[in-house]
């Protein structure tokens, strides 16, 4: 396959009126530290690498470029387990009248505690990574998991979830309808609870805990940057599906560097760019994207925003980008075939879109206005997050080996 895709990126500077920012304290540093403490209690815990791409930074005209590589997270090849596991522990803490700080891994996984706690079934919808994380955490803690996946989901990802002992099916729905299915099934189950990072009316606690769990990677990255002599990143560029990860990262840095926040930007899959469209609408109300949501960025194929996350993003993000599939594929190839001297990063399609976005903005003259709007220049220290590794080997080979979504640039000169 040598498919090309010349669709254009869409970008908007954020002009949405600010809200009262009531949800920003969710991502206060003390809350994130609590999540990190919980994650550290797992025997599988290790800080994931923060790669410095010195040669790429120089090539793109940046002072520094850093990539948080989540392909190493708990051996699960993606960051999602951070949110699901912490939300599950927080739910159990609430149910048992304890603080989550009292429930480290060795307590939650003990036979004595499971006998006291009883059996809970955690329901969720996923394209793969979140469901695998929930299934893995449930398995580790001696609980059950039921996972619903949208049409077009990877069989490899489905099998990885099943290996963790979960009940898993691929449904003939898009992601958002799978969320509704999982929620309705959890409601019908007397021992069921829905673990989803999409917030809606009456369902905010668990999405908030998931966001705090994701904050572990932001806190780690912040500390790694400081250890490398970077007092704070000037720019943070993060991908979004429903917006929970984006709001987690943005919320962490907005709290930590209040008054001197990094310039932050959100990238979405163009086919499911609900946050971008909400920003374009400009009223503060969210916009839902419906339909098949066809994109190679399966982890970002979400058409309905997390309303809590959106509220944080509208207050702290400089710009929103709706990115075509070729931009993700470009990022995967750039990470995987680095400039001499830079480390190789194995990044799946949902993990690499921010690299494709940054490189395109810095390299192609037609994006000059976006570059200027974001203040990207030779003094910029940029943080990216590669949220997943090679989670769909067949699609990864199509991108890297076969040139899936290669792009022709109309004879355009590349800025070097």
Kindly list the catalytic residues.
80, 127
Are the C-beta atoms of residues 89 and 108 closer than 8 Å to each other? Answer: yes
Strands (E), 90-150: 121-125, 144-149
DSSP letter at 299 equals: G
CB 187 within 8 A of CB 203: no
The three-class DSSP label of residue 388 is: strand
Token pair of 65, please? 């470029």
Quote the CA–CA distance of 351 and 72 in Å, as a whole number: 13
Q: Is 49 exposed, middle or buried (0-12, 13-18, 19+ CB in 10 A)?
A: middle
Question: What are all long-range contacts of 103-111, with beta carbons under 8 Å and residues at least 24 apart?
Answer: 103/38, 104/38, 104/41, 105/38, 105/41, 105/42, 105/43, 105/140, 106/41, 108/141, 109/140, 109/141, 109/142, 111/142
- Rounded CA separation 82/364 (Å): 36
Closest CA to 63 of 229, 219, 257, 217: 229
Cα-trace Rg, the chain: 20
Q: For residue 118, is it left (φ>0), alpha (ψ between -120 and 50) or beta?
A: left
């Amino acid at each position: 396959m040598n498919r090309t895709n010349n669709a254009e990126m869409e970008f908007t500077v954020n002009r949405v009126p600010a809200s009262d920012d009531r949800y920003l304290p969710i991502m206060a540093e003390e809350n994130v530290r609590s999540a990190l403490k919980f994650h550290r209690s797992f025997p599988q815990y290790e800080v994931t690498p923060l790669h410095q791409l010195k040669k790429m930074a120089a090539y793109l005209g940046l002072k520094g470029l850093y990539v948080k590589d989540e392909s190493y997270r708990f051996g699960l090849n993606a960051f999602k387990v951070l949110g699901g596991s912490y939300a599950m522990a927080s739910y159990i803490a609430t149910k048992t009248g304890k603080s989550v700080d009292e429930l480290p891994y060795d307590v939650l996984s003990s036979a004595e505690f499971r006998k006291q706690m009883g059996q809970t079934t955690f329901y969720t919808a996923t394209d793969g990574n979140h469901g695998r994380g929930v299934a893995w955490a449930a398995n580790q803690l001696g609980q059950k998991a039921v996972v619903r996946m949208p049409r077009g989901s990877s069989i490899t990802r489905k099998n990885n979830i099943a290996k963790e002992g979960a009940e898993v099916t691929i449904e003939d729905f898009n992601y958002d309808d799978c969320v509704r299915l999982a929620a309705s099934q959890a409601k019908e189950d007397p021992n069921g609870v829905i673990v989803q990072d999409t917030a809606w009316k009456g369902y905010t606690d668990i999405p908030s805990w998931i966001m705090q769990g994701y904050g572990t990677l932001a806190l780690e990255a912040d500390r790694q940057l400081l250890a490398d002599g970077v007092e704070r990143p000037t720019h943070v560029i993060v991908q979004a599906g429903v917006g929970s990860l984006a709001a987690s990262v943005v919320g962490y840095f907005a709290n930590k560097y209040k008054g001197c926040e990094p310039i932050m930007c959100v990238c979405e899959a163009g086919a499911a760019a609900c946050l971008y469209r909400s920003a374009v609408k400009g009223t503060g109300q969210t916009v839902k994207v419906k339909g098949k949501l066809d994109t190679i960025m399966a982890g970002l194929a979400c058409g309905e925003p997390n309303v809590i996350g959106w509220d944080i993003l509208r207050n702290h993000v400089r710009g929103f980008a709706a990115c075509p599939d070729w931009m993700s594929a470009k990022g995967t190839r750039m990470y995987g075939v680095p400039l001499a001297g830079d480390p190789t990063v194995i990044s799946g399609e949902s993990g690499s879109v921010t690299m494709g976005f940054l490189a395109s903005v810095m390299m192609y003259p037609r994006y000059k206005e976006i570059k200027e709007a974001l203040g990207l220049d030779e003094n910029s220290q940029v943080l990216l997050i590669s949220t997943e590794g090679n989670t769909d080997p067949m699609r990864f080979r199509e991108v890297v080996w076969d040139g899936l979504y290669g792009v022709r640039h109309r004879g355009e000169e590349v800025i070097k």
